[in-house]
Amino acid sequence: MSLPRRLIFAALLLAAPAAAQQEAPRPSLLPPPPRYMVSESAMKSVRNPKEIETESGGRLGVALVDGKGALILGFNRDERFAMCSTFKAPLAAAVLAGAEGGKFGLEGQISFAKADLLDYAPVVRKNVKRGRMSMEELAAAAVEVSDNSAANLLLPMVGGPEGLTRFIRAHGDMVTRLDRNEPSLNENAEGDERDTTSPAAMAGLMGRLIFRDLAPESAGKLRGWLNASTTGANRIKAGLPKGWTSGSKTGSCGTAYNDVALVKAPSGEEYILAIYLDRPTVDAKAAEAAIAETARAALDFVDKAQKTGLE
């Protein structure tokens, strides 16, 4: 059951948004999303993410998009954050879209050598003796275990960082940009817009790709890779309310902790939840716990609204 269109999710999670980026018209884009609101008592029943941000000592960004493309809640949703490895989810989507368009086949082999191995390349390293992997195998490795070499091997197939950015623009996201490959994209220098996104942009992009733009078979593959991910157990997945499930693509680059997840409610409704945490002063365990707590607050709110039909 969908949240009533009359509901407007007011200031609690939509606090202090930056000016929204306008998306270029595209046939696949939906009309402006409905707004949501709930009663004051419901708003008080979930924790304000500003408190979580303050306790973390960092900068927190959140966006939740529903299956119809509506941005239903956010916090610092239009601020820029380093993508880190969350770029691998749209990269995998670009590979799938390229195969759909006949540019290449997912079974096509990409050759590599020991010199192509980065420090973190668990799947590619296991296949270095064979010296090749299929594009589908590499895309799965990039999403499921965040294999850095797999991502670098795939990037030239979609036109490099510039080509991936063009793909992102073609799917209505005017914010997200990739400028470098692994590991340089993880620099996260303060004030540098290279290799960044916003929570609203990434959630909206992944929502359009999974729920609308990719062919069902391709979207199914991407869902499967996200659900098979082994890297996010202590982030969004750890904060899921009872009965919810998720599959995600995490990102970490020293001073940043991110997670972008396809989450599914007990009702069967699906959402994209993007959480970015930049430069927290707490340790890694506490930073991941902050992401989990943020996810719990956001999804508890939606869960209660679905169950109660708040007006």
Q: Catalytic residue positions?
A: 85
**Residue 274 near residue 71 (C-beta atoms within 8 A):** no
Nearest partner of 10 among 75, 80, 78, 79, judged by Cα: 75
As a whole number of angstroms, the distance between CA 42 and CA 55 comes to 23
**Residue 179 near residue 185 (C-beta atoms within 8 A):** yes
**Residue 52 near residue 13 (C-beta atoms within 8 A):** no
Nearest partner of 203 among 102, 306, 295, judged by Cα: 295
CB atoms within 10 A of CB 289: 19
Q: Which amino acid is at 244?
A: W
DSSP 8-state code for residue 224: H
Region at 131 (left for phi over 0; alpha for psi -120 to 50; beta for the rest): left
Burial of 34 (0-12, 13-18, 19+ CB in 10 A): middle
CB atoms within 10 A of CB 39: 13
User: Strand 256-264 to strand 245-252: parallel, antiparallel, or no bridges (unpaired)?
Assistant: antiparallel
Q: What is the DSSP string of 89-116?
A: HHHHHHHHHHHHTTSS-TT-EEE--GGG
Burial of 243 (0-12, 13-18, 19+ CB in 10 A): exposed
> What is the gyration radius of the CA atoms in the chain, in angstroms?
19
